[in-house]
Amino acid sequence: MIESYLSVWGETERETVIERSRFICRVKRVNSEDEARAFIEGVRKAHSQATHNCYAYVASEDGNLCKFSDDGEPQGTAGMPMLDVLKNRKLAMTAAVVTRYFGGIKLGAGGLVRAYSGSVADCLNSADIVSNELSEEIKITLFYEEYSVFIKYAADKKVKVLNTDFAGNITITCVLPKIFSKTFTDGLNDMLLGRLEYEKTGEYFFRY
């Protein structure tokens, strides 16, 4: 299983005019192939009068689930160049749609490749690119006098506290990259003189 992957975060849109044709690119984080298809269909409905709505997406963490469409443009001039940009940026769980409103001037095969790939590249330059790391969620139980030890120990670590419950003993739910989860808990256990109580409650990709 992979340990991390890059993706866009949220949704970004950029428009470019090339030889009077409007190219509107949208890129979005997607969590599944169904979500990618829903995103594409939403753009198609919003731009139902457009000449083309071409797309490409990578809908798996390992980058192997890929689809694209030229949507009526000459074969190989839109969808595949768009997908190549996503792959060259090493992006996963990301979908891109480029909507074209034809302006009356033909661009030729090379011009179309440059227009579609360039639209995606420009949009990605404005997008928020984040690292998603395979992580473990752990629940730690502490006495009140141990809380300051945890705060000090975790301060310079790649640990994200999700929730802190102060009812009874203190219960902290946090997430951290799996690759150093054991090192973190072993070190905290040493700081607490072997009294650390914790349980693993999940494993998933997390954005830091």
Q: CA dist 134 to 28, 67, 68, 121, 124, Å?
A: 21, 24, 27, 27, 23
How many Å apart are CA 68 and CA 76, to the nearest integer?
10
Q: What is the per-residue pLDDT for 143?
A: 94
Q: What is the per-residue pLDDT for 1?
A: 76
Q: What is the per-residue pLDDT for 4?
A: 95
The structure's pTM equals 0.85
Q: What is the per-residue pLDDT for 60?
A: 96
Q: What is the per-residue pLDDT for 176?
A: 97
199 in Cβ contact with 185 (< 8 Å): no
Q: What is the per-residue pLDDT for 50?
A: 98
Q: Which CATH class is domain 133-207?
A: alpha beta
Q: What is the per-residue pLDDT for 93?
A: 98
Q: What is the per-residue pLDDT for 202?
A: 96
Q: What is the per-residue pLDDT for 98?
A: 98
Q: What is the pLDDT along the chain (208 residues), one digit of tens a residue?
A: 799 999 999 999 999 999 999 999 999 999 999 999 999 999 999 999 999 999 999 999 999 999 999 999 999 999 999 999 999 999 999 999 999 999 999 999 999 999 999 999 999 999 999 999 999 999 999 999 999 999 999 998 999 999 999 988 999 999 999 999 999 999 999 999 999 999 999 999 999 8
Q: What is the per-residue pLDDT for 208?
A: 80
Q: What is the per-residue pLDDT for 168?
A: 87
The residue extents of the domains of the chain are 4-126, 133-207
Q: CA dist 205 to 130, 162, 165, 208, Å?
A: 12, 14, 24, 10
Q: Give the angle subtended at the CA of 114 by the CAs of 113 and 116, to the nearest 5°.
A: 65
User: CATH number of 4-126: 3.30.230.30, 3.30.1370.110, 3.90.1200.10, 3.40.50.12780?
Assistant: 3.30.230.30
